[in-house]
Amino acid sequence: MTSSDICLLLPELILAGSALLLLVWGAWQGRSNAVFNGAAILALAAAAVAAILAPEGRGFSGGVVSDGLSTFAKVAIYAASAVSIVLGDRWLARRGEAKFEFPVLIVLAALGMGMMASAGDLISLYIGVELHSLALYVLAAIRRDDAKGSEAGLKYFVLGSLSSGLLLYGASLIYGFAGSTHFDVIAQAVQGGAGVGVLFGLVFLICGLAFKVSAAPFHMWTPDVYEGAPSPIVGFFSAAPKLAAMVVLARALDEGFAGAIGQWQQVIIVVALLSVFVGAFAGLAQRNLKRLWAYSSIANIGYALIGLASGGQDGVSAMLMFMVLYMIDVTGFFACLCALERSGKPMETIDDMAGLFKERPVLALAMTAFALSALGLPPFSGFFAKFFVFKAALGAGLAWVAVAALVGSVVAAFYYLRLIKVMWFDAAPEGEIAKAPVEAKTIAVGAALFSFPVVLVALYWLTPLAERAAAAFGGA
């Protein structure tokens, strides 16, 4: 280990040290407060700055990579984590359940996600996946006295352990047949096509990572965990961890298996289209908004996977753009849910949203923007996200995949439009909606404004950043 190795891993070292200090601090004072949460956010900001300033290269014998892709992903992940601390801590505090463990767990999850973004071999990939997963299991069940929360955490842990087993088995097969865990050595071993043993390992690896992004048919945990976990934590689950998992999947496929794109592309296309249609059709039957958005997230991961299946720099760039724009939308949507309570109860079903426009027009407009964006209607950010993905698919000769995904998008439009119709035209039920908390309303309105019109300006600097990140490792 040299000093240059340490420089490459500086963001993760900052987060690891900060998490330990925060843990001791929290245990000593026994509760969180604004200063404590501010310190956690400061640690994430410092890690983001360190990621930007870190030199590019490989360290720890190739196990850690610092390049444009890792920097892009880490900055987005750390920013989403900081927003989740603001949103989640206040939400828990209003229920008298504020815990110092919450920001510590978010920082630990961000540490694991940073490791995933910098994974240069199968071992660091696995360490990153497990590190962030363990924190997420605890976050899902952070309300220990809530039966649904405990059930969500247990389900997530059990099914997550199964996916980790698949991932580890796949990694061991790849190592056994390719002779190395390093992506660059694996790439040489599979140049011109992967053998049967490596291919089996790759399929298991994809299955394990597909669970982490809740892609069909490995999505079974998502609706139950989303419904049982607290809304701000679900917002966190839907954003940063999925970007981290997509980035590590992109790095494994486009860097380690670039020579076998003809083999893994078929698997990714099947998973992508299954996700799009499972998310579209299953979402039609949902009345609970958290379950509805769970199926929406499954469908949206399908679109991101289409970008990945397209291969090359255009495909990875499209996937990055899609994920970042989606992260902002989904964070804003769950900020709206955090802000809405009627007669002391959270508003979490479609029926609860009846007449929202008359009672809380600002939040209704924000939710309308997120629904139209998720639908992919121009000029909202979701339209541009899907445009980049479909453009990459057409460029890769996958026009039929883009057309099929477009059909899925049309089906999913029904539940987004139904939500808008209920908010704008249905009569409100009895009971008064509580005043929206400042932080939740601010995040919701800020995200809605980004969805439109800020996105029109942001695309001018976000697009080159995503293209530069995708060019960092060449692509398949």
pLDDT in tens, 400-429: 999 999 999 999 999 999 999 999 999 888
Beta partners for residue 26, in sequence order: none
Q: Is 400 left (phi over 0), alpha (psi -120 to 50) or beta?
A: alpha
Asked if residue 475 has pLDDT above 60, the reply is no
Asked if residue 31 has pLDDT above 80, the reply is no
pLDDT (0 to 100) of residue 476: 43
Q: Evaluate whether 68 touches 56 at the Cβ level (below 8 Å).
A: yes
Please state, in angstroms and rounded to a whole number, the distance separating the CA atoms of residues 116 and 70: 9
Nearest CA to 174 out of 203, 202, 196 is that of 202
Cα–Cα separations (whole angstroms), residue 385 to 75, 87, 328, 356: 19, 25, 12, 28
Cis amide leading into 232 (omega within 30): no
Q: Evaluate whether 303 touches 241 at the Cβ level (below 8 Å).
A: no
**Region 241-252: what's the mean pLDDT?**
92
Give the pLDDT band of residue 136 (cuts 50, 70, 90).
very high
Asked if residue 466 has pLDDT above 60, the reply is yes
Q: Which two tokens stand for residue 82?
A: 């900081």
In percent, the amount of the chain with pLDDT more than 70 equals 99
Asked if residue 172 has pLDDT above 90, the reply is yes
Q: How many CB atoms lie within 10 A of CB 165?
A: 12
**Region 435-442: what's the mean pLDDT?**
92
pTM of the model: 0.95
In percent, the amount of the chain with pLDDT more than 90 equals 69
CA dihedral angle for residue 234, residue 235, residue 241, residue 245, rounded to 10 degrees? 90
Q: Which two tokens stand for residue 116?
A: 């995933």
Write the pLDDT tens digit of every residue in 305-324.
Answer: 999 999 888 899 999 999 99
Give the pLDDT band of residue 473 (cuts 50, 70, 90).
low
Please state, in angstroms and rounded to a whole number, the distance separating the CA atoms of residues 213 and 231: 18
Helix 312-339 to helix 381-395 angle (10° resolution) is: 160
Kindly report the average pLDDT of the chain as a whole number: 91
Q: Fill in the amino acid letter for 88.
A: G
pLDDT (0 to 100) of residue 29: 85
Cβ partners under 8 Å of residue 399, min gap 6: 393
Please state, in angstroms and rounded to a whole number, the distance separating the CA atoms of residues 294 and 278: 11
Give the pLDDT band of residue 343 (cuts 50, 70, 90).
confident
Burial profile 96-135: b = 16 or more Cβ within 10 angstroms, e = fewer: eebbbbbbbbbbbbbbbbbbbbbbbbbebbbebbbbbbbb
